[in-house]
Amino acid sequence: MPIIAPSMLSADFLNLGRDVAMVNSSEADWLHLDVMDGRFVPNISYGLPLIRAMKQQATKPLDTHLMIVEPEKYFEDFAKAGADILTIHYEASTHLHRSIQAIRALGMKAGVALNPHTPVQLLEDILGDIDLVLIMSVNPGFGGQRFIPRSLEKIRVLKQMIRSRGLDTLIEVDGGVTLENAGGIVAAGADVLVAGNTVFGADDPAAMIKKLKAVGK
């Protein structure tokens, strides 16, 4: 069964405590937090104060995805705010290996995200040092976009790279994940599904999480 990480970017921010409580009591595994700075991506989301607030209520790991420039400036801040997993973009990190070591030294799991145009082969030298790879299956910055079909081949290639090295690195997929395409994404090799509108736009978000969790059974 896949790990399900509802994207809190699609939650109701006027009722955020209610939505965190729903995720707590659901079959979801993680809370996915998208941090955008308006520079690396053309949108601004939320930052440290909101993450600190969610940490107070969340009973599940905070899977924090930094879509920001110079992410290394803020590793310690996000660790203190309660991030359990910290994912940075390959495209935003000049010294990726150093950054991964710094994230792990702060007690967090480390992930690397790839934009749709970035080939997975570029991770060859870093794959053994990271806990997860986040495949962006839409162009980052906005929710509600359609899944890019080419992402499936990237997942397959990455899965083969991981298996051939005997690693247990997780593959996370974010963008356009629906109940209709989730089966194909998991079959391609994904371990973690990020779902925003699919979960929070559903009449019964907890029931939708349960259905996503059952994909690939």
Q: Is 174 a catalytic residue?
A: yes
Using an 8 Å Cβ cutoff, are 59 and 25 in contact? no
Burial of 178 (0-12, 13-18, 19+ CB in 10 A): middle
> Of 19, 29, 63, 174, which one is the catalytic site residue?
174
Fill in the amino acid letter for 90: Y
Cα–chain center distance at 8: 11
> Of 34, 37, 63, 84, which one is the catalytic site residue?
34
Using an 8 Å Cβ cutoff, are 212 and 179 in contact? yes
Residue keyed to tokens 């890019």: 148
* Positions marked catalytic: 34, 174
